[in-house]
Homo-oligomer: A and B are copies of this chain.
Amino acid sequence: MTIIADRLAELNIVLPSPAAPIAAYVPTVEANGMLYVSGQLPFRADGSLITGHLGVDYDVEHGRQAAERCAIMLLAQISAALGGNLDRVERIVKLGVFVACDSHFTDQPKVANGASELMVAVFGDAGRHARSAVGVPVLPLNAAVEADAVVAIRPA
C-alpha cells in the first residue's frame, strides 16, 4: 500500500465510488500541475445525501459531518483522477466551502472545519490549505454543504 492509502486505512476511511457529475461537466481537470475538482456534495457511505439548511432545521455538528463527507468525496475524485495513487498529491491548495444556511447562521468556519481537518488528518502538512467559507441560501439537491478544491500534483 502507499503512504496515503495506509493513512486512510488507519483513519478507517473507505473512499466511496466517486459520484458521477449530475450534469454536463467532469469531476476533475488537470492543467499545468494543478488538479481542479468539481464541487462535491455530502453523500454518506450508504449513498444518501446530507441535506437541509443550517440554523433552521440543523445545527453546526450536522454541518461539520456534511463538510467531512464532502472532503471524502473530494478524495474519491482526486484518487480516481490519479489512478488510485493519492501519494501524487503534493498539496491541497485551496478549498471552497459553501454552506446552506439561513441568514442568521454565522458558524460557516466551524462547519467547514469538518472538511479542513479531514484533509490534514489524511495528508499532514500537505493537507494544510487556503480556504473560503461562505453561506448560501440553497445548494443542488438541497445538500447541506458543497466543497470544491484546487490540488497541486506530482507528475505520474
Contacts and interface: CB of A to CB of B under 8 A. Distances in A.
Interface of A: 21-29, 31-34, 36-39, 53, 90-91, 93-96, 98, 100-110, 112-113, 116-117, 120, 128-142, 146, 148, 150, 152
What is the copy number of this chain in the assembly?
Answer: 3
Contact of A53 (B25, B26, B103, B129): B103
B106 A140 contact: yes
Contact of A26 (B28, B29, B103, B130): B130
A73 to B, nearest CB: 13
A130 B29 contact: yes
B32 A117 contact: no
Contacts of A91: 29, 31
B98 A134 contact: yes
Contacts of A139: 106, 108, 134-135
A45 to B, nearest CB: 23
A130 B25 contact: yes
Given A38-B130, A39-B132, A91-B29, A23 B138 contact: no
A117 B21 CA distance: 13
A134 B135 CA distance: 10
Contact of A128 (B26, B34, B110, B116): B26
